[in-house]
Amino acid sequence: MHADSLGFIFLNAAIINNFVLALFLGICPLLGVSGKLNTAFSMGVATALVMLISSISAWLINEVITHFDLEFLRLIAYIAVIASAVQLVEMTIKKYSPPLYRALGIFLPLITTNCAILGVALFQTNYEYSFVQSLFYSLGAGAGFILAIVLMAGLREKLELADVPSIARGAAMSLMLAGILSLAFMGFAGLGG
Amino acid sequence: MAAKTDNNPITMDTFLSGIWKENPVFVMLLGMCPVLAVTNSVANALAMGLATTFVLLCSNALISLLRHHIPKEVRIAAYIVIIATFVTVVDYLIHAISLEVYNALGAFIQLIVVNCMILGRAEAFASRHRLSSTLINGLGMGVGFTIALLCLGSVRELLGAGTLLGFPIFGEAFEPWVIMLLPPGGFFVLGAWLLLFAWVKERQIKRSAAASVGEAAVNAR
C-alpha cells in the first residue's frame, strides 16, 4: 500500500500508530471509563463522533487561518471548536438516550480535555492532509480509540474475578494491562510498510 | 464567578500537598498523556515539566485574578482559552530557545492545553483562592508534576539506553533494554511506580496498626 493511500492512513491511525496504545493520547478515559464493557463502548463511540466533527471543522478552520496568516490562533480556535463539538454531542445524547447520559456522567464533558481529539486535529495539520485524507485519519483514530478502550474494558471485566494482590488493584493493574496491550500492538509495526 | 474566597493562611501544606499528598501524577492520575509520552529521556521529561509548570502558574494566576469577573456558566470555556493562550506562548518560546527540544516534544507541547491537571487546578483551586495561595499551590503542583516526570524519565532512560542525561552509566557491556523507550515501557514503568507507592502506603498502615497493638501490649505488661 502507498503511504498516502486512504486505506493506509486509516490503518495507520487505527492500528499501527494506535492513538491510545502507541501515541499515549486519551489515557484518562482509558483508565477512567474502562470498568464496564457497555459504558466503554458508548464512550468510545461518543469520542469517535466528536473526533470526526472536530476534525472536519479543524480542517476548515485551518484553511481560513492559513489564508489570513493567523497561525498563532490555531490552538485556541481548535480547542474552542472541540469544546463546542463536545457540547453538541452531549446535548444529542441527553435528548436521545438519557440512561447513557447518566452512565457516562462526568466523563462526557471531559471529552473536551481528551488529548486524542486535539491530537487528531494537530496531527492532520502537521501532516498537511487533504480534506478526504483528514476524514479517513479521524475515522481511523476513532476506530482505534474504540478498539483500545473496548479491549481494555474486556480485560478488566475478566480481572474482576482474578485474585490480584491488594496493592496492585486499580490504576497499577490497569497500567500493566495497557502495557501488555501496547506490546501486542507493536506487532503491527511492520504492517503496510 | 461568585467565589467564596477563604482567608486561610498560607501554610507549608499549600505548597507541599502538590508534591506528595496530592501529587498530580502518582496520586490523582491526572495529565497522564504527556507523562507517558515524553518521558523516554530525562532531558525531555525536564523540559516538559518546566513548560507545564510555567503554563500552570501563569494561567492559574490570571484565573485567580479574574475569578470575580468570569461568569459561572462559561467558566470552563474561559479557562481553556486562557490556558491555550499561555500554551501558545510556551510553544513559540521553546521553538525560539531550542529547536532540538521542540522537535523531541513535538505536538505534546501544544497538547499541554488538554492536560487535565491544569484545568483541574483552575477549577478546584484558582477559581476560589486569592493570588498568593494560588501561586504557591500551583508551584507545588508543578514541582510535583516535574518530579513525577523525572522519576519516569530517569528509570526509562537508564534501563532503555543505559544513560542518564546522555552520559553512559553502565559502561560498554550494558545491553540496552530498548522496550523501555518504546510505548509499552512507559506503561510498565508508571505501573511499577504506582505499585511501589501502594506498597509503601500499605506498609505504613500496617506499621501504625502494629505499633498501636505493640503499645497496648507494652502498657499491659
Does A55 have pLDDT greater than 90? yes
Does A6 have pLDDT greater than 60? yes
Name the DSSP letter for residue A161: T
The whole-angstrom separation of Cα A54 and Cα A119 is 11
pLDDT at A139: 93
Subunit contact A76:B194, Cβ cutoff 8 A? no
pLDDT mean across residues, chain A: 85
Mean pLDDT lowest among A10-14, B44-48, B52-56: A10-14
Does B211 have pLDDT greater than 70? yes
| B184 vs A79, A171, A179: nearest CB | A179
Give the burial string for B30-60 (b: 16+ CB within 10 Å, else e).
Answer: bbbbbbbbbbbbbbbbbbbbbbbbbbbbbbb
Burial class (CB within 10 angstroms; exposed 0-12, middle 13-18, buried 19+) of B115: buried
B68 — phi, psi (to 5°)? -90, -10
B128 within domain boundaries: yes
Subunit contact B183:A21, Cβ cutoff 8 A? yes
B21 within domain boundaries: yes
Contacts of A156 in chain B (CB under 8 A): none
B220 within domain boundaries: no
B218 within domain boundaries: no
Average pLDDT over residues B112-119: 86
Chains A, B: CB contacts within 8 A come to 114
Domain count for chain B? 1
B residues 106-125 lying closer than 8 A (beta carbon) to A:
107, 110-111, 113-116, 119
pLDDT at B180: 85
What residue numbers bound the domain in which B118 lies? 12-165+177-196
Average pLDDT over residues B129-149: 90
- Rounded to a whole number, what is the distance in Å from the CA of B76 to chain A's nearest CA? 9
Does B153 have pLDDT greater than 70? yes
Full-model pTM = 0.85
Average pLDDT over residues A118-142: 91
B91 within domain boundaries: yes
The whole-angstrom separation of Cα A177 and Cα A5 is 33
Q: Sorting pLDDT into bands at 50, 70 and 90, what band is B147?
A: very high
Q: How many CB atoms lie within 10 A of CB B219?
A: 7
Average pLDDT over residues A150-175: 85
Q: Sorting pLDDT into bands at 50, 70 and 90, what band is A192?
A: low
